[in-house]
Amino acid sequence: MLESLGFIQDILHHLNYFWITVLMTIESSFIPFPSEVVIPPAAYRAASGELNIFLVVLFGTLGSDLGALINYYLAKYLGKPLVYRFAQSRVGRLCLLSKEKVERAEGYFFKNGATSTLIGRLIPGIRQLISIPAGLANMPVGKFLLYTTLGAGAWNVVLALLGYFIGKTVPPERFEATIRSYSSTIGLVILVAVVVAGVGYYLYKRSKRA
């Protein structure tokens, strides 16, 4: 276990575009791995000139799309009974899944429709799992990828800006502590983004009815 943690720490300290893509693919699938430990450190390195901030967001979003597609196709081809059985299995619990979490994501999807794959990517506890009900509902993959890319891209931009800003103002030895202290700010930004997206969607629907 300690060797595995050391391996991950080594990757995080030597981030490149390949590992950003791989780690964000893992983060966006059903395997628990926080994007906060990938994008901000990569953006921090971009602030020092080691990486490009735009490519950090691009490859991070590519990884998010790949991970979302894993969930989407697993749900689509396994079907609802097997998805729920896996969520309640020992392996599922190790992946921090549960029947209640899948039900919550499924309820959010059917309540908000296809755009939930966009807005849901900004909500903690929903963002990784929103691909599952999309697959179960056989949502068109083109529309699924469009909304997922927009939602994941917005989330990665927020994290990248945070990491880049810290990289310009904070010395390396204080980076991890500063990221932790900004966790509440990340939550606030997400909340604002969700509210803005919700209001925009409401106004869009209202204009269509008019």
Residue 147 has pLDDT above 80, yes or no: yes
Residues 6+ apart with CB under 8 A from 97: 30, 86, 87, 129
Q: In terms of residue numbers, what domain contains 203? A: 2-209
Q: What is the pLDDT of residues 28-84, one digit of tens each?
A: 877 766 777 788 888 888 888 889 999 999 999 999 999 999 988 888 887 776 666
Q: What is the pLDDT of residues 117-137, one digit of tens each?
A: 777 777 766 777 778 888 877
DSSP 124: T
pTM for the whole structure: 0.74
- Least confident span in 3-12, 47-56, 86-95: 3-12
Residue for token pair 């602030």: 47
Annotate 32-77 with DSSP letters as a single string: ---GGGTHHHHHHHHHTTSS-HHHHHHHHHHHHHHHHHHHHHHHHH
Count structural domains, the chain: 1
Distances (CA, A) of 61 to 10, 180, 195: 22, 22, 22
